[in-house]
């Protein structure tokens, strides 16, 4: 029984593997038939529209949107937890919905507070 | 070469093309090739085929276990070929490689690229691809594929090479894993898993990782900026994407995609949950990085975003993965909201007299056992599924000709404020429908 379930999920991995095996040779064939001209000084530099690049490739970027990534880590998991309830709601008694409404309220309030904090640019 | 030309004095220009051609050398080269082919086939090819056939589980046809010998002889006999083809069609490999899996998705992706080019051109009062293949530039895609595969792959010197090589292949693989979860017709799905919706979310979660890894490994500024943008965008729209499907799961009472498609045999969920459908559609646009949400590859600001350093076939593979992903998302919308394969019977039934009497051509009567190859319900389901999916793909392509690109702060506020709020409203609509006794067990409908 457990094996059957795992077998179905295994098909996803098989499909992944098939796609890799099917399209991987395209890169190898391309490497074999495409011309490989001799190098010149700018050929393998990062592309910057014809300018000679300066500084690091992995540049620094602003932290002002980092709050959203922190929020994602929390609320993604909470959203997935709701599926445990949503998938079985037809089998649950109606009284079981009230705690879930409370959970939704907590989730919504927490999200509103986090969004308010993420708007305060001076702390990021 | 120029020295030879001078020596000949231009008298025998033709001989310059193949200056040392001799028939004996030509024949010798052909014989050499034949020799090596025979050696390799006998030493490697035939043993490999034997080993593979030894381990493959062969089907039982007409009460007789199929051996490789019988398969090869029966394929030459048209009256007994169809059972073999049928047995092959129910194997996992056929599902993964051809029908509900990679082959169908790649075909739809190719059609999507063609339609997108022509439709976008019509919207912008252009002609679009025209010369390649006499009819409406239909061979343009094949031409582009040949061009991409014959271009040199240039990798930046400071790039993290293994990750950079793996990224396009992993992108296509992830898109294919997503395709494998989509049911196309009753019973025709690669991976019929019980928690299909959660599996879809799990697979979708890999796209930002692949994107950010490829952007980081290129060690260049534009891909890095594009990758960070893609990360923010996919992350912001993943929560409304997840929440907007919760209403459907609540009403259908199951998380398997096949079960959800079966639950809307008469009325699709878009009738009851239009808010969720709209939120989900906007999230699809954002996850696919399509206009108006194409910030990660904004070609007028950051050269091509996270695709900047990809060249040649690597770029081609990323594009293939993008369109596979587009097909998968459109198919997911069809399954969740439009009813999947359900629809009135349009496909004509297979003519009975061919099964009973066989095909009559003058004096010859050929009775072919094993017909029909595919039953009517399955063909009708595939027809309806593809019609709906193509319609959704059309609506995904349409904004590209209409809308401008939006700023990243507008994108984030749209994802975090409006869409999450709307998807909460959608959950309460579903709850109200359940508890008001409209839907669900014992409901009016």
Residues of B in contact with A26 (CB under 8 A): 149, 313, 316-317
Write down the pLDDT at residue B52.
79
Contact B313 A68 (CB under 8 A): no
How does pLDDT run across B150-174, given as a tens digit for each residue?
888 888 888 888 999 999 999 999 9
Find which of A76, A86, A108 to mutate to test the B interface (most B CBs within 10 Å of its CB). Answer: A86
Q: Domain-by-domain residue ranges, chain B?
A: 21-95, 97-345+370-435
How does pLDDT run across B277-302, given as a tens digit for each residue?
999 999 999 988 888 888 888 777 88
Chain A, residues 51-70, CB within 8 A of chain B, namely 53, 55, 57-59, 61, 65, 68-69
Residues of chain B with pLDDT under 70: 1-19, 78-79, 369-370, 440, 442-445
Write down the pLDDT at residue A58.
77
B150: CB partners within 8 A, 6+ apart = A30, A33, A34
Question: Cα distance from B431 to chain A (closest Cα, Å)?
Answer: 9
Consecutive H or E run containing A113: helix A97-119
DSSP letter (8 states) at residue B348: P
Torsion of Cα atoms, B164 then B169 then B171 then B174, to 10°: -140
Write down the pLDDT at residue A113.
87
Residues of A in contact with B317 (CB under 8 A): 23, 26-27
Write down the pLDDT at residue A1.
47
Contact B176 A18 (CB under 8 A): yes
Collapsed DSSP state (helix, strand, coil) of residue B137:
coil
Q: Which of B286, B171, B241 is nearest to B295 (CA)?
A: B286
Contact B190 A58 (CB under 8 A): no
Write down the pLDDT at residue B7.
46
Q: Which of B226, B220, B207, B205 is nearest to B164 (CA)?
A: B220
For chain B, state the CA radius of gyration: 28
By residue count, chain B amounts to 445
Contact A15 B255 (CB under 8 A): no
Task: Tell me, yes or no, if A117 comes closer than 8 A to chain B by beta carbon.
Answer: no
Let me know: does B22 contact B15? Beta carbons within 8 Å.
Answer: no
How does pLDDT run across B199-230, given as a tens digit for each residue?
999 999 899 899 989 988 888 888 888 888 88
Chain A, residues 15-44, CB within 8 A of chain B, namely 15-20, 22-24, 26-27, 29-31, 33-37, 43-44
Write down the pLDDT at residue B5.
45
Query: What is the distance between the alpha carbons of residues B292 and B418, in angstroms, rounded to a whole number?
Result: 16
Task: Tell me, yes or no, if B239 comes closer than 8 A to chain A by beta carbon.
Answer: yes
Contact B190 A57 (CB under 8 A): no
- In angstroms, the Cα distances linking B219 to A44, A47, B168, B223, B375 are 11, 10, 16, 8, 54
DSSP letter (8 states) at residue B416: I
- In angstroms, the Cα distances linking B150 to A26, B55, B153, B348, B425 are 10, 37, 9, 45, 52
Chain B, residues 150-189, CB within 8 A of chain A, namely 150-158, 165, 168-170, 172-177, 179-181
Write down the pLDDT at residue B93.
83
Torsion of Cα atoms, B328 then B329 then B333 then B336, to 10°: 70
Task: Tell me, yes or no, if A76 comes closer than 8 A to chain B by beta carbon.
Answer: yes
Let me know: does B163 contact B210? Beta carbons within 8 Å.
Answer: no
Let me know: does B269 contact B188? Beta carbons within 8 Å.
Answer: no
Collapsed DSSP state (helix, strand, coil) of residue B65:
strand
Write down the pLDDT at residue B6.
46
Write down the pLDDT at residue B392.
93
Task: Tell me, yes or no, if A112 comes closer than 8 A to chain B by beta carbon.
Answer: no
Task: Tell me, yes or no, if A89 comes closer than 8 A to chain B by beta carbon.
Answer: yes
Question: Which class for A116: exposed (0-12), middle (13-18), buried (19 or more C-beta within 10 A)?
Answer: exposed
Query: What is the distance between the alpha carbons of residues B13 and B5, in angstroms, rounded to a whole number?
Result: 7
Let me know: does B238 contact A76? Beta carbons within 8 Å.
Answer: yes
Let me know: does B189 contact B258? Beta carbons within 8 Å.
Answer: yes
In DSSP terms, B115 is beta-bridged to none
Write down the pLDDT at residue B391.
93
Query: What is the distance between the alpha carbons of residues B272 and B445, in angstroms, rounded to a whole number?
Result: 11
Write down the pLDDT at residue A2.
52
Q: Which chain A residue has the Cα nearest residue B169?
A: A20
Domains along chain A? 2-123 (1.20.58.1610)
Task: Tell me, yes or no, if A98 comes closer than 8 A to chain B by beta carbon.
Answer: no
Contact B172 A45 (CB under 8 A): no
Q: Look at strands B359-361 and B64-65 and give their pairing.
A: unpaired
B1: CB partners within 8 A, 6+ apart = B16
């Amino acid at each position: 029984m457990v094996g059957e379930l795992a077998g179905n999920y295994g098909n996803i991995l098989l499909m992944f593997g098939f796609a890799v095996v099917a399209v991987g040779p395209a890169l190898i064939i391309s490497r074999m038939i495409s011309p490989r001209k001799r190098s010149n000084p700018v050929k393998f530099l990062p592309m910057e529209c014809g300018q000679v690049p300066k500084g690091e490739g992995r540049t620094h970027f602003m932290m002002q949107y980092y709050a959203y990534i922190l929020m994602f880590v929390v609320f993604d998991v909470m959203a997935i937890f709701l599926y445990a309830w949503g998938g079985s709601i037809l089998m649950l008694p109606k009284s079981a919905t009230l705690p879930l409404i409370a959970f939704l309220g907590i989730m919504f309030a927490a999200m509103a507070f986090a969004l308010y904090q993420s708007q305060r640019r001076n702390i990021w | 070469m120029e020295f030879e030309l001078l020596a000949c004095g231009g008298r025998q220009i033709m001989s310059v093309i193949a200056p040392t051609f001799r028939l004996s050398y030509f024949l010798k080269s052909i014989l050499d090739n034949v020799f090596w082919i025979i050696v390799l086939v006998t030493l490697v090819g035939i043993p490999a085929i034997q080993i593979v056939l030894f381990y493959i589980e062969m089907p039982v046809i007409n009460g007789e276990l199929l051996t490789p010998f019988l398969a090869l002889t029966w394929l030459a006999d048209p009256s007994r070929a169809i059972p073999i083809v049928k047995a092959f069609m129910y194997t996992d490999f056929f599902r993964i490689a051809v029908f509900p899996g990679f082959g169908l998705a790649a075909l739809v992706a190719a059609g999507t690229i063609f339609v997108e080019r022509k439709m976008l051109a019509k919207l912008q009062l252009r002609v679009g691809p025209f010369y390649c293949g006499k009819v409406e530039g239909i061979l343009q895609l094949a031409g582009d594929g040949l061009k991409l595969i014959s271009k040199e792959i240039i990798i930046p010197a400071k790039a993290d090479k293994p990750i950079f090589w793996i990224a396009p292949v992993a992108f296509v693989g992830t898109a294919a894993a997503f395709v494998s979860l989509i049911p196309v017709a009753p019973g025709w799905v690669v991976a019929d898993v019980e928690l299909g919706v959660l599996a879809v979310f799990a697979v979708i979660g890999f796209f930002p990782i692949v994107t950010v890894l490829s952007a980081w490994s290129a060690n260049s500024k534009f891909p890095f900026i594009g990758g960070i943008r893609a990360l923010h965008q996919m992350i912001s729209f993943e929560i409304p994407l997840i929440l907007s499907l919760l209403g459907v799961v609540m009403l259908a009472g199951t998380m398997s995609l096949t079960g959800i498609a079966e639950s809307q045999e008469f009325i699709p969920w878009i009738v009851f949950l239009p808010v969720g459908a709209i939120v989900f559609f906007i999230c699809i646009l954002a996850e696919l990085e399509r206009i108006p949400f194409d910030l990660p590859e904004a070609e007028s600001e950051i050269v091509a975003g996270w695709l900047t350093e990809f060249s040649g076939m690597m770029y081609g593979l990323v594009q293939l993965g993008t369109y596979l992903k587009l097909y998968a998302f459109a198919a997911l919308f069809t399954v969740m909201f439009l009813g999947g394969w359900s629809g009135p019977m349009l496909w004509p039934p297979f003519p009975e007299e061919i099964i009973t009497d066989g095909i009559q051509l003058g004096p010859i009567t050929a009775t072919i056992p094993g017909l029909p190859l595919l039953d009517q319900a399955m063909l009708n389901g595939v027809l309806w599924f593809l019609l709906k999916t193509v319609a959704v793909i059309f609506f995904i392509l349409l904004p590209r000709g209409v809308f401008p690109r939006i700023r990243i702060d507008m994108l984030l506020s749209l994802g975090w404020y409006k869409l999450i709020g709307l998807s909460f409203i959608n959950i309460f609509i579903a709850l109200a429908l359940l508890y008001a006794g409209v839907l669900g067990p014992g409901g009016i409908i």
